[in-house]
Structure 1
Amino acid sequence: MNEETKTYYYVLASQRFLLEEEPFEEVLRERTNHYQRNNKEIDFWLVKQPAFLEAPEFAEVKQKCPQPSVAVISSDRQFINWLKLRLEYVLTGEFQAPSEQISHPLASLETAC
């Protein structure tokens, strides 16, 4: 692989919880505005049905999270820690990508409509 392997951090939850029960849109809007005010490049992404959960090392994590799931993936550990403190009922962790098991960190299993 030519692309350099990086560490990505994530917050994982059920889509119903994060996108319907939590005021999560407001959290993302607040964070996006903060990045813009500070001229910081966006380094977080919302991924429905994240493909990294299909890697064998994530079998236990996938079992713990109600499906369908959604992840906020970032290269910024502090942002993910901040989200974890702000939200309840979420799982957090990290992974390296690209790797043999995870070819693209932001890949989704959800098909576009």
Structure 2
Amino acid sequence: MNPYYFALASEKFLLRQEPIEEILRERTKYYEYMNKPIDFWLIKPNLFLEVPEILEVGKKLSGPIAAVISTNVLFITWLKLRLSFVITGSITKTILK
């Protein structure tokens, strides 16, 4: 089972204060150009965010949370550098399949 890496932030910050839509759109175009499969997803509150490990991290944030998850650790590391105010980590769960 491969790990999933995440960049977690408050929904307000990630979806309204940062250009996440533009970042993900550009990344999607790049993947299409390179003929690579998409390995990242933007998720709002759902089952993934209710995993105990994520709930513990989410306690540090106020309000609803959102995340970008990926199988590519380098992309998540880059997002952390680009967005600054996100919490990163990884998880290996069958719930994500």
Q: TM-score, normalised by structure 2?
A: 0.90
Q: How many residues of Structure 1 are paired with residues of Structure 2 in the alignment? A: 97
What's 1:76 paired with? 72
Taking the aligned partners of 2:96 and 2:72, their CA distance within structure 1 comes to: 17
Q: Does 1:104 align with 2:96?
A: yes
Higher relative contact order by CA 8 Å / sep ≥ 6: 1 or 2? 2
Supply the distance in 1 between the matched residues of 2:55 and 2:64 (Cα, whole angstroms).
15
Give 3-state SS (helix, strand or coil) of 1:40's partner.
coil
Q: What TM-score, normalized by structure 1, do the two folds share?
A: 0.78
Residue 9 (structure 2) aligned to one of 3, 9, 13:
13
Whether contact under 8 Å (1:11, 1:91) holds in the other structure is yes
Larger helix proportion, structure 1 or 2? Answer: 2
Aligned residue for 1:108? none
Considering only aligned residues, what root-mean-square deviation do their CA atoms show, in Å?
1.4
User: Does 1:36 pair with 2:32?
Assistant: yes
Q: Could you tell me which amino acid in structure 1 is paired with residue 40 of structure 2? A: F
> What is the distance in 1 between the residues matched to 2:16 and 2:28?
20
Distance in 1 (CA, whole Å) between partners of 2:68 and 2:86 is 11
Task: Give ranges in structure 2 of 5+ residues lacking alignment.
Answer: none
Show structure 1 runs of 4+ deviating over 6 A.
none
SS in 2 for 1:64: coil
Instruction: Give the counterpart of 2:61 among 41, 60, 65.
Output: 65
Give the corresponding residue for 2:87.
91
SS in 1 for 2:56: helix
Gaps of 5+ in 1: 106-113
Tell me the alpha carbon deviations over residues 43-79 of structure 1, each in whole angstroms, 9 at most, x when there is no partner. Answer: 0001101423323333430201222111100000001
Q: What is the letter of the counterpart of residue 41 of structure 2?
A: W
